[in-house]
Amino acid sequence: MKNTVSNEEMAALSNELSLLLHAGVGNGDALALLAEESGGEEKEMFLNMAEQVDNGAPLSAAFRKAGRFSAYVCGLLEVGEQTGRTEETLNALAQYHENQARLTRQIRNALLYPAIMLVLMLTVIAVLLVRVLPIFDDVYASLGSRLTGAAGALLSLGRVLESIMPLLWGLLIIVALFGAAFALIEPFRARILASWRKVAGDRGLSRKLNTARLAQAMAMAMASGLSSEEAVSLASGLMTDTPAAQNRCNNCLNRLENGESLSAALKNSDLLPAAQCRLLELGQRSGAGDASMEKIARDLTEEGENALEELVGKVEPALVLVCSLLVGLILLSVMLPLMHIMAAIG
């Protein structure tokens, strides 16, 4: 059985449970209905959860005992049950995981297309250096000349590449296997991403995405009736794989415990941008802190997605430009001398 459910699965599960609860179906019966629609390990899990709920266990306890749901999901469900807002909590969880699933797809697509384009461009340049330039060199030799200058240097580079081609093919196979394992093997992908997050998971664009994720989690927690400290603490649970982001959360918690207001603590701990903190402060003064945090989460999510699209928009033209310049340099370096030779012969 997988360790945790995916964002898509969690969003679908939360939506289905919310609809069943809204229709007046009890927790145990709702889980039993989900079991009927599932198969294999999923069915067994839902049946076990339904049995626990029927025996008097809270829904959050059944989720926690299943071992496939994050501490954040279980904790938020527990708070929702305590405040009588289980249905609203499930709706919030569905929205949150839908947003995370969409963002994950955007990141995957943003990385995939430039990577494919880069491989194709490098292949074209390698073919020009290894296969095309030697043909031009033979043409020059038949005319009593040789490739010199930039063309000669590129020809030498092509010969070096040809001599180490077996090594390059081996490296290409390793990279391809790594890419396939990263795409298909979830534990391997999770381990690689976790290592990367520990080193540079809270910088640049990643920092913006982390901040949006924290704001979404806090908005959902505050809407479920949690205090500021509890909302930040639960949001911190999402960042266990990103130490730098979790440190920001812990700093914010310490400031809250020392008596700072939520907006001031968020600002001074660099957990949220100053503009959003001012908006939250105004919202709290008017009694609409929950709505303000929800708007902040939407704005930060949109800002992160726009930053991601902007980055991709810069990468693609840069790759095309660099490849075009290299191909043009290779062709001009051999065509211009050939034109001079042909002019002299003519």
Token pair belonging to 270: 């660099």
What pLDDT is recorded for position 77?
Answer: 82
Q: How far apart are CA 69 and CA 1, in angstroms?
A: 12
Cβ-contact 186, 194 below 8 angstroms: no
**Exposure of 242 by Cβ count < 10 A (0-12 exposed, 13-18 middle, 19+ buried)?**
buried
What pLDDT is recorded for position 338?
Answer: 67
What does the pLDDT look like over 92-122, one tens digit per residue? 788 878 877 887 787 777 777 777 877 888 8
Q: In this model, does residue 267 exceed pLDDT 70?
A: yes
Q: How confident is the model at residue 84 (pLDDT cuts 50, 70, 90)?
A: confident
pTM value > 0.85? no
